Structure 1
Amino acid sequence: MRQEHGAERSSVQPGDDVISTKRNYAMAAAAAGVAALIALVVSRFLDLPNISLVFLVAVLLVAIRSSKGPALLCAGLSFVIYGFQFLPPHGSVFIHREQDLLTLLFFLLVAVLTGDLAARHKRQYVQLQAAQRETQALLRFSERLASATDLATLLQLLGQRLGPEGVALRLVRVEAGTVQALAGNVDALTELERITACWAWTHGKPGGYDSHNLPHPHWWWWPVSSSEEPLALLGVRSLSAARLDDRLRCVVESSLHTFSLAVARIQLTQALADERIRAAAEQLRSALLASVSHDLRTPLTVLRGAIDTLALLDERLPSSERQELLRDTRLETERLDRYIQNLLDMTRLGQGALHLERDWVTPSDLLAAALQRLTPLLGSLQLKTEVPVALPLVYVQAALIEQALVNVIENAIRFSPVNGTIEARIFVAEDEVGFAICDQGPGIPEADQDRIFDMFYTAARGDRGGQGTGLGLSICKGMVVAHGGQVSVMPASGQGTCITLHLPVDEQPVGESEEGSTGCE
């Protein structure tokens, strides 16, 4: 098994030493020749020692344009040309005066040092540019990772950073010797790949096998960790070669820390979201149990008391008291039926199983049906209705909208004071029909107006019917939204609250319309 450490590897950065090519060496030879021609021209005006500066400039330019090798070639050619052409005896490679020999050797030394220094500075400049590009690329990579919301997106961004070379990426965890996929490539692992993954996970070091004799490329694994805690393994496999090249490994290693932080962030976000869901589910369960224990037990207690009274005192009860017990029994039975219906509707809405069976319905019929169901609950309350003369039809499932109206009207009845007034209005505004139900209750604080549609939210202040289940308005909103409408709440004129159901008006069927009346009851 082969392991690697980023600090022990020599990485190959883009733009490192420029490879010496024939073109660079040809340029070096040409530069020496051009320098010789220029030196011949200026030799008429300059002393012999100054002519060597022309060749030094040529060596310097070659070093800057190419690399150390061509610069040394230019220095060597300049050394030969300078000694052959300009030092006496001219046209001979033999030098008779020691002074000229020292001059020539000194020129060679200066040329070599100048070329090497220029090449070294150029190499550092190229490396600095490459490091700057790498830093900018890492910065852009970090910015993209910061906007990712899932592990699959992280792998996609890492794949883009690795470049056009075909690579497969995957994130896995190792639990009890089993490799569990988290995201990315889902190809089955060979036994050798599973072993290397377990080794990398256990030791916290990159690992894999490199061999050109293997039947197919193998995965290389890098530990993804945060604060010494293993989070996952990053698997990288070449799609076009038997092994990962050094450039790809270098990019993976330089990106691994930033990638690990992004994985930790996403896993933490997912853990927090899961915890919130668990907390919400527990809260919902507790609220549902409390609601069931209260709202089922109360009508059942009344029913059992009425039945026991009738059973024990049937013949001795006056007719009026017997009728009152029967009326109470009926009211509690209807209340129990509405509560069970709300529970069923809540379940259907929560599971997305609410399938609409629409038909063309007159808005006034929907309101009339809802009011008829709740007439026994009105008691001393006054009811005022206002319906325009002409109303468009609405394309809805009548039973659901009727139930939504029942929930809103029942809510208004519960919060209206004794001898108060409830107003039920239908209005038309552009492309919608509205049902406004207004009461004279204590009203709803502005801060709580959005919360009244939350499941199990109840407001005890002003509730004459005892604290409700907190399901009615939530279910009402779900039913209306399922029809493409919305529910709004606002203070009533004077005192109380108006809750309005807004339903869209679709293109009317030919020959269909409703003729209504305006009035108050």
Structure 2
Amino acid sequence: MPSAADKLSRTTLAPARDYLLATLAAGLGCLLALAVSRWLDLPNISLVFLSVVLVVAVRSSVGPALLCALLSFAAYGFCFLPPTWSVVVHREQDVLTLMFFLLIALLTGNLAARQRQQLLALQASQRQTQSLLGFVEQLSSAQDQRDLLAAMLSQLDLPAERLCLLSRDAQGNWHQADGSRLALSELERISAEHAWQNRHPRGYDSHSLTHPHWWWWPLMDADQPLALLGMRTAQGDPPAGEQRQLIDVLLPLMAHALARVQLVETLGHTRLQHETERLRSALLASVSHDLRTPLTAMRGNIETLQLFIDSLDTATRDDLLQSTASEASRLDRYIQNLLDMTRLGHGGLHLERDWVAASDLLAAALQRLQPVLQHLQVRMQVPADLPLLWVQGALIEQALVNVLDNAARFSPPGGVIDIRLNHDGETFSFAISDQGPGIPADEQTQIFDLFYTAARGDRGGQGTGLGLAICLGMLNAHGGTARVESTPGQGTTVILKLPLQHPDEGARHE
């Protein structure tokens, strides 16, 4: 911001320049009048001088306009009224002419200058109004306290280190908008405490606290302080008068915006706590059901084998063993999903990429799901010119397992699962379609949400709601996406897309 010395220099130099220009304008007006005097009558020559006075008044202010009027009055009498080139006026009518000329020049100059001042005041008011509207727009779009502080910095034209927004925690510690602690001297801390407790600005009007570096304004909501706006000034000097007036105008606007931001943050915390509790309950219910169900089946099979192994025929024993192995595989997939969910949730998924053939990933996923898919038909469309994928194969394989397992659970006995692999030069896609009941349009955007399970299909509510959510997380980790296409009663298609990347490009996304 410009210093006080700079402002004083401008306010003193500008009038001096205007007075000099007014003098030059009067001289130029005299020369112009002399040049056209042979074609104009004496009364009309005064119009030349009046025009010059009017121009000066419009371009400057009252003082230079009055000076130009006086100089024009002297030049008109000296150069044009008989006897010319003399300060003596012989005729009474010429004296009256001069007096009327001076009066009209003064009135014209004063009126024009005042009109200009009013115009400048209106323009300044318009600029201030537009600036305030921009400030209000910034405040209305602010998402947090840092955005509010940035808007105030822009409006006051201050560097970031000169302004702060302090909030107070339950322990009485002051925190900035970004959550960091602000180092305050004892004097500055006392000043901030006083502003907070007494609900009025503190610093510049205090006789007991001399030369604090920070000046404080409380942001009030009704009678309660929300935060303190602090300004650091050079050598403890108070803010300039215009700056203080601007701050007084901006403070109520910022206080209302801060109240809105704090309310949104409070609602967000409440919603997060509610969502956390909901997810915790869903996870406990999921763990309770999906761990107990396969364990119960495995335990029943094993107890049957223990009690009746001698009386069971070979086919029955094989069925029990196969059922136990199938339930163990189901339990293993569920535990793997829980582990993957934990890794995704804690940001611990670090990719170890390698060149992998998409057909190999698909074959491995189908092999793992062979017991689940044995009563279904699987049709594949795999072009011969498929490029290799730069991915962590185990994660993409697990994503395919989750989608295929989901399709198998929704498919009717003997149903068909279609798998299509394709690429367009920039992205690679897996499209997996089933012949299940489909998904209603209003639920299609939710199937990748954590713990979301569809209410239709053969599996009903037996799903964990983890598989597709984890699938999306694994694809996102590779820069990919997933979406669903479905028509109720006609099946569902899940499309997984991965970017085709060079190893160097893949490393930059890590």
Q: Do both proteins adopt the same fold according to a TM-score greater than 0.5, normalized to the shorter chain?
A: yes
Partner of residue 398 from structure 1, selected from 389, 393, 399: 393
CA deviations on 1:214-268 (whole Å, 9 max, x unpaired) are: 9976211122234444321111122477332212212222222333333334333
1:135 counterpart = 2:129: yes
Name the structure 2 match of 1:417.
412
Larger radius of gyration: 1
CA contact (8 A) 1:414 1:465 kept: no
Q: Does 1:279 align with 2:274?
A: yes
Q: Within 5 A, what are the aligned runs for 1:29-428? A: 123-163=117-157, 168-175=162-169, 177-183=172-178, 188-209=183-204, 218-239=213-234, 242-389=237-384, 391-427=386-422
Distance between the aligned counterparts of 2:429 and 2:55, measured in 1? 84
2:396/2:474 contact within 8 Å kept: yes
Task: For 1:182 and 1:286, locate their aligned partners in 2 and report how far apart those are by CA, in whole Å.
Answer: 34
Cα 1:294/1:53, change in 2 over 3 Å: same
Asked if the contact 1:231/1:264 (under 8 Å) is kept, the reply is yes
Q: Secondary structure at the match of 1:207?
A: coil
Is residue 23–residue 68 contact of structure 2 (8 Å, CA) maintained in 1?
Answer: yes
The one-letter code sitting in structure 1 at the alignment partner of 2:350 is H
Structure 1 unaligned segments of length 5 or more: list them: 1-12, 41-48, 88-92, 94-99, 509-521
Task: Tell me the CA shift for residue 171 of structure 1.
Answer: 0.3
- For the 8 Å contact 1:211–1:242, the answer to whether it is kept is no
Distance 1:330 1:39 in 2: 115
Q: Which residue of 2 aligns with 1:10?
A: none
Structure 1 residues 13-55: Cα deviation after superposition (integer angstroms, max 9, x where no partner): 99x9999955566677889999999999xxxxxxxx9999999
Confirm or deny: 8 A CA contact 1:169 1:185 kept in the other structure. Answer: no
Amino acid at match of 1:238: T
In proportion to residue count, which structure has more helix? 2
Aligned pairs (5 A) from 1:505-516: 505=500
Task: Give the 3 Å change call, closer, same or farther, for CA 315–155 of structure 1 in structure 2.
Answer: same
Segments of 5+ residues of structure 2 without an aligned counterpart are: 1-6, 35-42, 82-86, 88-93, 504-510
The range that moved more, 115-124 or 314-323, is: 115-124
Whether the 8 Å CA contact 1:75–1:108 is kept in 2: the answer is: yes
Determine if contact 2:294/2:330 at 8 Å carries over to the other structure.
Answer: yes
Q: Residues 339, 116 of structure 1: CA spacing in aligned structure 2 closer, same or farther, 3 A cutoff? A: same
- Structure 1 contact 159–167 (Cα < 8 Å) conserved: no
In the superposition, relative to structure 1, how do residues 208 and 185 fare at CA in structure 2: closer, same or farther (>3 Å)? Answer: farther
Cα separation, 2, equivalents of 1:349 and 1:475:
8
Shift of 1:289: 1.6
Distance 1:481 1:213, change over 3 A: closer
- CA distance 1:196–1:113, change in 2 (3 Å): farther
Whole-angstrom distance in 2 between the partners of 1:144 and 1:420: 57
Residue 473 of structure 1: SS of its match in structure 2? helix
Distance 1:360 1:118, change over 3 A: closer
**How many Å separate the matches in 2 of 1:83 and 1:427?**
97
Q: Deviations over 1:477-508 (max 9, x none)?
A: 22233334333433599942333434444569
CA 1:123–1:296 in 2, change beyond 3 Å: closer, same or farther? same
SS at match of 2:369: helix
Distance 1:115 1:506 in 2: 75
Give secondary structure in 2 for the equivalent of 1:458. coil
Letter in 2 for 1:440: Q
CA distance in 2, matches of 1:86, 1:483: 92
Aligned sequence identity (%):
56
Distance in 1 separating the partners of 2:385 and 2:123: 77
Structure with larger RCO (C-alpha < 8 A, sep 6+): 1
CA distance in 2: counterparts of 1:61 and 1:448, whole angstroms: 73
- 3-state DSSP of counterpart to 2:196: helix
Separation of aligned partners in 2, 1:77 and 1:497:
93
Over 3 Å counting, the alpha-carbon distance change for 1:122 and 1:443 in structure 2 is closer
TM-score normalised by length of structure 2 = 0.75
Q: Is the 8 A contact 1:167 1:238 kept in 2?
A: no
1:481 aligned onto 2:476 = yes
The answer (yes or no) to whether the contact 1:170–1:185 under 8 Å persists in 2 is no
Question: Helix, strand or coil: the match of 1:160?
Answer: helix
The 1:183/1:251 distance shift into structure 2, 3 A limit, reads farther
Tell me, in whole angstroms, the C-alpha distance in 1 between the residues paired with 2:386 and 2:31. 102
Could you report, residue by residue, the CA deviation over 1:148-186 in whole angstroms, capped at 9, with x for unpaired residues?
Answer: 434334333323332479970000123564333225996
Q: Is the 8 A contact 2:440 2:486 kept in 1?
A: no
CA distance in 2, matches of 1:165, 1:480: 42
